[in-house]
Structure 1
C-alpha cells in the first residue's frame, strides 16, 4: 500500500488484491479512504463485495440549452423556478448590470481573480485552479468569455466560461461572487445570462463544470444539490474530454477530513451484468456517507434524490 496526502486527505492506494483482502477497519486511525485506481472491469463485483464503490474519478455536469429561458425553467421544479426568478428579480431590482466580455482579456481575468481568490481561500480545502491556470486561459482567450455582474460599477460576481465549439457546449469553468447572503441569487442570474449567450452562439448545451465524484472534500454536498436542482445531469468527465483520469474504486473509512455527511457518486451496474463500456447512459447511484445514527433514512436521503440517479443509499461510516 502506498499512502499519500492530497489537500489534507490521507489516501491508501492499493491494488485489487489488497483491496479485497485488507482488514480496513484497523486502518481507520491513519487513513481517510482506500482507493484502487483504474480497476479492471472484471474486478468490479469483487470490489463492491469488499465495500468499495466503483466510480468515475470526476464528473461533468451538463444541461441542454433549450430554445428559450422559459423552456429551460419549465424543466425545473416549482421551487427552483421560483429561486431562479427571485434571482432575476433581485438583479433587476438592484440594477445589477450583466456584461459579457468576449473574449476575456487580462483586466477582466484579474478582476475576476480579486473575487475568486478570497472566495477559495475561505474554503477548508479550496484549490485555486483558476489562478493556477491563468496563463493557459489567457493564452486561449478567444475561446473564453466572462459574464460579469456589476452593482454600482462594483464587480459582485463573475462566471468564467469556455466555448467548446467541438462539443457545441459552453462550459462554466469558474464562478465567484462577493461573500454575502445574496450570492446564490446573483449566481442564478449570471447562469441565465450564460444560457442566453449559449443560445446566441447556437450551442446545444451548457456545462456547469467538473467535480470529484466524492463530495465532502474539495467540493461540498451542497454543490451537488445546487447543480442537480438547476436541471444539470452528471456524466463521467472523461466522456466529455474535460479530464482523462480513469475510474476508481473507493472505500471511505472515516469522515474526520470530510464533511458530515459526504456523498459519493458511483456506477449502478448489476454484478451479473458485467461492466461493459461506460457511456453517457451508464446508470449512476449516490451514497450518503454519514457517521451519525439515523432513525429516518428516507428523511436523510430526501435532499439528495434526483431523476438521473438509479438509486440513493445511506452508508454508515465508523
Structure 2
C-alpha cells in the first residue's frame, strides 16, 4: 500500500491542467505529461509551453496500443520485479550464469573474505547497526541526482515488525562498509532484498555482489524458493540507471512485470520519451513485445540514446530483442 500511495503522490505533485484530462506532474525532477485516450489525436504536448520529458498514458486500452506504438509510445509494465529461483545451492545457481559473471562474483567474494568481517543478523536486526547502515545508505543516495532515501521510512518495521527482516553487514575493522536489508515474504515463498549500500571504495570491489549472494544463502537455509531484488520503475535513466539493469542480469535475475509476481498495484502504462534533458543517456525501457496481446508477457528492450552505443552491453536472455532509438527531441519550454 505504501508503494501505491507513493505512486499516487508523485502523480499529484506539480499538476498543471491543459484541459479536463491532461496534466503535467513532477516525478522526482522528471516532468511527465499524463494523457488520456481523448488526448491522443490532438497531441497537446506538442503545443505546450511547459517543459516535458515524458508523455505517459496510464493503463492504456488494449485496442489503442497499436496506435500508441505507431506514435512512438512504448507500452510497458509500470514496475519491474527482478526474480530468481534460489536453486538448491550456490553452485547450482552460479551454473546458470556466463563464465565472466561467475568469475566476477567469485573474485568479489574472495576479496571480501580476505579483508572484511561479515555479520549476519538472521533473526532480528539491532538498532545500533541498523542506524549505522541507514547513515551509509543516505550518504550514498545523496550523491544520486534523483536519489530518494526510502529505507529510513522502514526503520521501525525492520526493528519491530510486523514484517520480518534479516540483514547482512560487512565491516572493515570497526567501520561498517556495506549492508543489505532483506524482507521475508513467506506468502510468496520468497525473500526481497529491499535496501543495500556500500562505500565507494568497496563498490569498486563489487561488495554488493558478495552481500547479495550471502543473503541468498541465508534465504536457502530458511527454506525459501525465490529471491527478488525488489521492484523498480521501468524507466532506467531516472531514479535508477541503465547500468543497474546489466548488474542485475549478470547476477542471474530476470525482470518481469511486477503484477506478475505478487504486486497487487502493478499496472501497465505507455511512455513517449521526448528528450533526454533530464534523463540520463542511455535511457532504457522494457516494453511488451506484443503489446496488443495482454496474454503475451514477453519483453523487449528499448535503448533511447543520442550517442553511438553498443546495445549488446545491455543484452539479456529474457528479452526478445534490444532496439536502439533516439528521443523525439521535443524539449518544450523550461519553467
TM-score (norm 2): 0.86
Confirm or deny that 1:104 pairs with 2:122. no
2:304 aligns to what? 289
Cα RMSD, aligned residues only = 1.9
Q: Which moved more, 1:157-166 or 1:34-43?
A: 34-43
Structure-to-structure mapping, 1:117-136, within 5 angstroms: 117-136=138-157
Aligned mate of 1:275, from 288, 293, 315: 293
Aligned mate of 1:257, from 278, 285, 296: 278
Spell out, residue by residue over 1:22-75, the C-alpha distance to the aligned partner (whole angstroms, 9 max, x if none).
Answer: 165555971001000111222111111111111111101001111111111111
The 3-state SS of whatever aligns with 2:275 is: coil
1:6 aligns to what? 27
Alpha-carbon distance change, 28 to 200 in structure 1, aligned in 2, over 3 angstroms:
farther
Structure 1 position 305, deviation (Å): 0.9
The answer to whether the 8 A contact 1:264-1:286 is kept is: yes
Q: Unaligned stretches of 5+ in structure 2?
A: 1-21, 330-335
Alpha-carbon distance change, 112 to 174 in structure 1, aligned in 2, over 3 angstroms:
same
Q: Which moved more, 1:86-95 or 1:254-263?
A: 86-95
Alpha-carbon distance change, 24 to 193 in structure 1, aligned in 2, over 3 angstroms:
same
2:220 aligns to what? 199
Confirm or deny that 1:171 pairs with 2:189. no
2:311 aligns to what? 301
Q: Unaligned stretches of 5+ in structure 1?
A: none
1:22 aligns to what? 43
Structure 1 position 184, deviation (Å): 4.8
Q: Number of residue pairs matched?
A: 307
The answer to whether the 8 A contact 2:198-2:208 is kept is: yes
2:12 aligns to what? none
Distance (Å, rounded) in 1 between the aligned partners of 2:128 and 2:41: 53
TM-score (norm 1): 0.90
Alpha-carbon distance change, 28 to 309 in structure 1, aligned in 2, over 3 angstroms:
farther
1:159 aligns to what? 180
Spell out, residue by residue over 1:135-193, the C-alpha distance to the aligned partner (whole angstroms, 9 max, x if none).
Answer: 34434265100011122132111110000111111100011011225455211111111
Spell out, residue by residue over 1:83-138, the C-alpha distance to the aligned partner (whole angstroms, 9 max, x if none).
Answer: 10011100111143242342224333212201101011110000111112323443
1:310 aligns to what? 320
Alpha-carbon distance change, 23 to 3 in structure 1, aligned in 2, over 3 angstroms:
closer
Over 6 Å off, 4+ runs: none
